[in-house]
Every structure is written in structure tokens, then in C-alpha cells.
Amino acid sequence: MKTFSIADIEIRNRYALAPLAGFTDYAMRKLCYDAGAGLLYTEMESCEALCFNSKLTIEDIKNTKLDKANCPDGKLALQIFSGKEESVLKSIPICEEYGEDDFLDFNCGCPVPKVIKQHSGSYWLNREDELISLLRKMVSISSKPVIVKIRIGYSSIMDIVPLCKRIEEAGVKAIAVHGRTRSEFFSSPVHYDVIKDIKKNVSIPVIANGEITQNNFLSVFDDTNADAVMIGQHAIGYPKIFSDMIAIEENRPVEETTIFSQLNDFRKHLDLIFSIKDERSAASIMRSFAVNYVKGFSDSKKYRNLLVHCSSKEEYLSAVKMIEDENSAR
């Protein structure tokens, strides 16, 4: 299997789990690691929350120690975001005090309005000089290689290559590129040609992101020449996407996805999330995943409605058993 390296740190393969707010906590990261993901990203963590010693955010950072203990062959990027230089620089020592990660990632790609209002996320594409100045300072004080995640423009596709060259010159060791602008959010076709142009003009690794699935990832590699691909939405409730892609790359048969295999992963997810969160929080988080775990199967609407009304681990397990029993009888 092909691998790639960031700052001389080898990643076991070319498949990365994207940072997804509300989703890529330790539980999802562990499931995706077990399925084969080589590079894992945390949820994006607020620098302001870190500076104000937010208990929940600090707990997220501390949970990176679980990755180190239980995902020994994987590499982890801790992603932070803020629109304020002072908050970013103050948060780095806090991340290093509580976390155990391999890379420090700075979010310059989030298109969500509440992040944009803070002049953060993809708004940084409107603040090029400030961004480069900040990245230089981050590189100078971080003990971990600094990497970034960007989009290809704000209101429209920008001349992104010069900015990517400046990012590399600032000392950043890799760039993950979502091939859409901020205004395109997640709905328009992905501009893989722009990612290809970036890759052609920088010497650091480029990770392609945007609508990548087990059905198109090989063509994305061909179309972009990217060093790796990053999977986000399509991994929610389907960690098996990573083992599917690895099997395809190695010309092996892809294991069939059944309601039983999905429920088995759902049960593993339950065990993980309830081990790191209180019952109320864990139950709420699992409701966000339930739809995708049963999506596409017969009676999926009925199963979804059953799962999203669970409020404890016992209720979830009872619902899973009911679904399994119903399908075994068919």
C-alpha cells in the first residue's frame, strides 16, 4: 500500500479522516482507525475556549491521549480555529500541555456562518497577509509540525496558488484543500483541477478533500496528483469506507456491507462514546450518527425513528437487537 509523509513523519496510507465539528471525537476516530484510516483529525477546537479553560474543550484535547494509546499506527492532527492571533498563539501551549498529537492543524476552510462572523475559518482567505504572519508565528512556537486546511476561495475561486506558495514559505508542512469556495459550501461540484494546480506548484504534501467516496477516490488521485485524500461526510455512520478503499487499492474484493455489519459498527460506536461521555451527552451524539448507520436499507426510516428516540445505552442496545432480530427472520 502506498504511504506518504508530512515533515518526515510517515503516514501508514493515503487516507485521512476529515475534521468534522460534532462528529470526529475519539470514538469516531477509533472506529475509522480500526477500518484503516492513516491520518486522523480532531474536531475543530476553539482557541478562545482553550484560553478560557473550557472544561469540555480541554477534555477533547486530553482525549487525544486515547488515540496515542489505542491507535498506535495512526497519526493525529489537532485542529484549532480562531479569528484572533492572540488567542491562537496562547492556545498552542495549552494544546501541548494536555494533548498528544502529531500535527497542529489550523482551520482556514470552515464555511459555517458563526465561524465566519468571528473572521475565522475560510474568512482567513480574505486576510492573506495576516494569515501568513500568524502561520510564521505558529511555526516558531509549536513543537509539532504545523499544517493547514483551506478552501479554494471565499466568494469565488481565487488565484490560490500564490497563497499556497506563501503558506509553504511560512513553514507549513502540508495543505489539505477542500475543492470548493466558501460560498459554495458543500453543494457545488468539486474543482479538482484547482487542487491539481496547487499540487503542481508546491513541494509540501497536498491532501484532496471534497465529495470523496470509495467510488471516485482513485480518479481523484489521477485528477489531482494529491498525496492523500480526505474523507469527511461519507465516513459518518460508515467507517467501513476506509477498509473499502484499501481493498480497492489492493485489488481485493470489498466486503459486503449489510445491516448486520452496520449494526455491529454501531454497537462498537456505542461502547466507545459511552466510555468517554456522560449518558445524556453520549445518547445525544449517537442520534446524530443513527441515520447514516441504517441509511439505504429496507425499513431504514422505521429504524432511524427507533434509534433517534433512544436516551440511554440500554435503549440503544435494545433497539439494535430488535432490528437484528427482525432482519434475521427475513
pLDDT tens per residue, range 163-173: 999 999 999 99
Check whether residue 202 and residue 267 sit in a common domain: no
Check whether residue 271 and residue 245 sit in a common domain: no
Taking 80 as the threshold, does the pLDDT of residue 129 lie above it?
Answer: yes
Check whether residue 162 and residue 41 sit in a common domain: yes
Residue 183 has a pLDDT of 96
The arithmetic mean of pLDDT across residues 65-80, rounded, is 98
Domain assignment present for residue 135? The answer is yes
The arithmetic mean of pLDDT across residues 218-245, rounded, is 98
Q: Which of 249, 272, 301 is the last residue of a domain?
A: 249
- Please state, in angstroms and rounded to a whole number, the distance separating the CA atoms of residues 62 and 72: 16
Domain assignment present for residue 109? The answer is yes
Q: Which of 217, 249, 281 is the last residue of a domain?
A: 249
Check whether residue 107 and residue 187 sit in a common domain: yes
And the C-alpha cell for 223?
A: 485528477
Q: Buried b / exposed e across 265-293, counting CB within 10 Å, b at 16+? A: bbbebbebbbebbeeeebbebbeebbbbb
Domain assignment present for residue 50? The answer is yes
The CATH number assigned to the domain holding 290 equals: 1.20.120
**Half-sphere exposure at residue 285, Cβ-oriented, CA atoms within 13 angstroms:** 26
Taking 80 as the threshold, does the pLDDT of residue 282 lie above it?
Answer: yes
And the C-alpha cell for 170?
A: 511560512
And the C-alpha cell for 122?
A: 475560510
Residue 8: which region, alpha, beta or left (left: phi > 0; alpha: psi -120 to 50)? left
- Please state, in angstroms and rounded to a whole number, the distance separating the CA atoms of residues 279 and 129: 45
- Please state, in angstroms and rounded to a whole number, the distance separating the CA atoms of residues 251 and 311: 42
Domain assignment present for residue 181? The answer is yes
Parallel, antiparallel or unpaired: strands 146-151 and 228-231: unpaired
Query: How many independent structural domains does the chain possess?
Result: 2
Taking 80 as the threshold, does the pLDDT of residue 5 lie above it?
Answer: yes
Check whether residue 176 and residue 138 sit in a common domain: yes
Q: Where are the beta strands (DSSP E) in the chain?
A: 4-6, 9-11, 15-17, 39-41, 45-46, 75-81, 103-108, 146-151, 175-178, 206-209, 228-231
Q: Which residues pair with 150 in a beta bridge?
A: 108, 177
Question: Tell me: the pLDDT tens digits for 172-225?
Answer: 999 999 999 999 999 899 999 999 999 999 999 999 999 999 999 999 999 999
Residue 67 has a pLDDT of 98
- Please state, in angstroms and rounded to a whole number, the distance separating the CA atoms of residues 64 and 44: 13
Model's pTM, two decimal places? 0.97
Residue 187 has a pLDDT of 87
Residue 96, domain extent: 4-249
DSSP 61: H
Domain assignment present for residue 254? The answer is no
Residue 8 has a pLDDT of 96
pLDDT over 70 percentage in the chain: 100
Check whether residue 187 and residue 298 sit in a common domain: no
Residue 307 has a pLDDT of 97
And the C-alpha cell for 167?
A: 503558506
Q: Which of 194, 228, 249 is the last residue of a domain?
A: 249
Check whether residue 264 and residue 220 sit in a common domain: no
Check whether residue 183 and residue 149 sit in a common domain: yes
182, with CB counted inside 10 A (0-12, 13-18, 19+), is buried
Taking 80 as the threshold, does the pLDDT of residue 330 lie above it?
Answer: no
Check whether residue 138 and residue 282 sit in a common domain: no
Across the chain, mean pLDDT equals 97
Check whether residue 182 and residue 301 sit in a common domain: no
110 is an active site residue: yes
The arithmetic mean of pLDDT across residues 268-274, rounded, is 98
Check whether residue 43 and residue 191 sit in a common domain: yes
The CATH number assigned to the domain holding 177 equals: 3.20.20.70
Active-site residue, from 51, 110, 164, 310? 110
Query: Are the C-beta atoms of residues 75 and 102 closer than 8 Å to each other?
Result: yes
Domain assignment present for residue 73? The answer is yes
Check whether residue 62 and residue 113 sit in a common domain: yes
